[in-house]
Copies of this chain bind each other. A is one copy, B any other.
Amino acid sequence: MTLEVLPVEGMPEIGAGTDLGAAIIEATTERGPELRDRDVLVVTQKIVSKAEDAMVDVDPDDHVSHKPIVERESVRILRRRGDLIISETKHGFVCANAGIDLSNVVRGRAALLPDDPDRSARRIRDQILGRLGVEVGVVVSDTFGRPWRRGVTDVAIGCAGIAAVVDLRGTTDALGRELMVTEVCVVDEIAAAADLVMGKASGIPVAVVRGLAAAWFRTGSVADEVIRSPAEDLFR
C-alpha cells in the first residue's frame, strides 16, 4: 500500500514540435524509473505547452504586456486587483492570468495553457502504450492559487487513463455509516504529490506516481469530471 513519487530526471529542453511522449520514453528507459502498468505520469503544463507551441510573444520590459493576452484567453473575468486578473478560461478553469506563465520560458515568450489538456494527456498515454506496451495514467499538472488560503499548489488540468474524480457515494465508513462527502478529486491529489518532488526551480517537469488504487485506472477527463458548472458553483 506504499505510494512512491519518483522524479524523471534528464528530460531534454522541450521546444515547439518536441515529441513529448518519445522524450519521456527515452528519459525513463535510459535513467529510470522503468514504467510499469498503473504508474501515473505527471507532466507539467509548461512542457506540454512548449511542445505544442502554445506560446505567444510578450514585451519582456513591460510587466503588463501580457494583460491583453489574458483577456483574450478568458471567457469571463471574476476579479481584478493591480496586475492580477482572476478569470475563467475557455476550458472552464478559474485561475490567475488565464494560466499564462512567464517563468521557465525564453525571455519575450509566454506559455498559454494547452488547447485541450485531456487530449495532450491521452496522446502521451497512447504513445507509451503503443511503444512500450505499458498502460499508464497521465496527468497534466499546473500551479494554481486558490481563495482563502495562501500559497499555490499543483492541480490537474488534463488526464487520461486515470479517473479524475473518484465517487465513493454509497460506500460506508469504518463504523458502517454511509459516507457523506465522498467525491474525491484524486487527480488533483496526484498532481500535488508530484509537485513535492518536482520543486519549482530544479528542472524536473515529469514525475511518476506509483502505487495508486487499481480501481482508479479507467478513462478519465478533467474537463468532464473536475470542472464545476457555473450553475452548481456558489462562487462564480
Q: Does A6 contact B (CB under 8 A)?
A: yes
Which of B104, B164, B179, B227 contacts A175 (CB under 8 A)? B104
Q: Are the CB atoms of B225 and A184 closer together than 8 Å? A: no
Q: Are the CB atoms of B234 and A86 closer together than 8 Å? A: yes
Q: Are the CB atoms of A150 and B3 closer together than 8 Å? A: no
Question: 1/0 contact trace for A150-194 toward B, CB 8 Å?
Answer: 111111000000001110100111110101111111101110110
Docked pose: A212 CA to B192 CA in angstroms = 13
List A98-127 residues whose CB lies under 8 Å from chain B.
Answer: 102-107
Q: Are the CB atoms of A149 and B185 closer together than 8 Å? A: yes
Which of B174, B201, B225, B235 contacts A235 (CB under 8 A)? B235
Range class of the A interface residue count: 35 or more
Q: Does A49 contact B (CB under 8 A)?
A: no
Q: Are the CB atoms of A185 and B153 closer together than 8 Å? A: yes
Q: Does A135 contact B (CB under 8 A)?
A: no
Q: Are the CB atoms of B213 and A184 closer together than 8 Å? A: no
Q: Sample 16 A-B pairs with CB under 8 A, ordered by A number.
A: A1-B197, A3-B197, A79-B234, A93-B148, A104-B174, A145-B181, A147-B236, A151-B185, A151-B226, A154-B189, A173-B200, A173-B201, A174-B201, A182-B200, A186-B196, A192-B192
